[in-house]
Amino acid sequence: MSAVSFELEAQVRDNLGKGASRRLRRAEKVLGVVYGGDAAATPITLEQNVILKALEDEAFYSQLLKLKIANSTETVVLRDLQRHPYKPIVLHMDFQRVKATDKIHMTVPLHFVGTEECPGVAAGGVLNHLINELDVQCLAGNIPEYIEVDVSKLELDESILLSTITAPKGVEFSLLAHDHDPAVASVHMPRVAAVEEEEDAPTEETAEGEDTPAAEGGEETAEKSED
């Protein structure tokens, strides 16, 4: 079961509108909204530097968060994040109120382990991460921090299908529920190396061409000896 590891302080945002939003952002505030549950949606602001620091941890995107607003504390999950197109700042965040017993969908990252022991990599292949995150369905209190994928036994030109990965207890992979079973990782020879091997391999035309000079030389020798 996942544990709440992040606590944020937020202030209720009373002044709405574009002008007020610009002023708040100039004051290094992140605009946001908290919705869901039995309460109405609440506009909030958070500290820009605190949010940027929290976003450095991948668990922040998928784990339960404690959000302190005024005199109350709410359990939430991050649902949406809007960044500035070129400045290193966050413009807006959406949080959803949840209870530990709510069944929800969340996106969690994949962690690939066993790369150093992978026989396909040892044979010169390249490990490809075909999927880096998964949508899972589970109780909010059981959201895994990540899903582990063991590639230590993956041979050259083999793949790992999603159905072969053991999900944590109480966690369902949404893709499998929709009859999709994609490959999560695979090992293949590098593309350049494969092309070079094809080019270096002797072709039928080359083999025939190599025999021609010898044959022609033999005919000339025979003609000379007849002369």
Domain locations along the chain: 6-98, 105-194
Residue 226 pLDDT: 44
Among 134, 56, 52, smallest CA distance to 93 is for 52
- Joined together, the tokens standing for residue 118 give 């992978």
The class (CATH top level) of 6-98 is mainly beta
Residue 195 pLDDT: 54
Residue 2 pLDDT: 53
Q: Which residues of the chain have pLDDT under 50?
A: 1, 212-227
CB 119 within 8 A of CB 154: yes
Q: Phi/psi of residue 191, each to 5°?
A: -60, -45
Residue 91 pLDDT: 97
Residue type, 19: G
Choose the CATH number for 105-194 among 3.30.70.2740, 3.30.413.10, 3.30.499.10, 2.170.120.20: 2.170.120.20
Residue 178 pLDDT: 83
Residue 223 pLDDT: 45
How many CB atoms are closer than 10 A to CB 100? 14
Cα distance between residue 160 and residue 131, in whole Å: 11
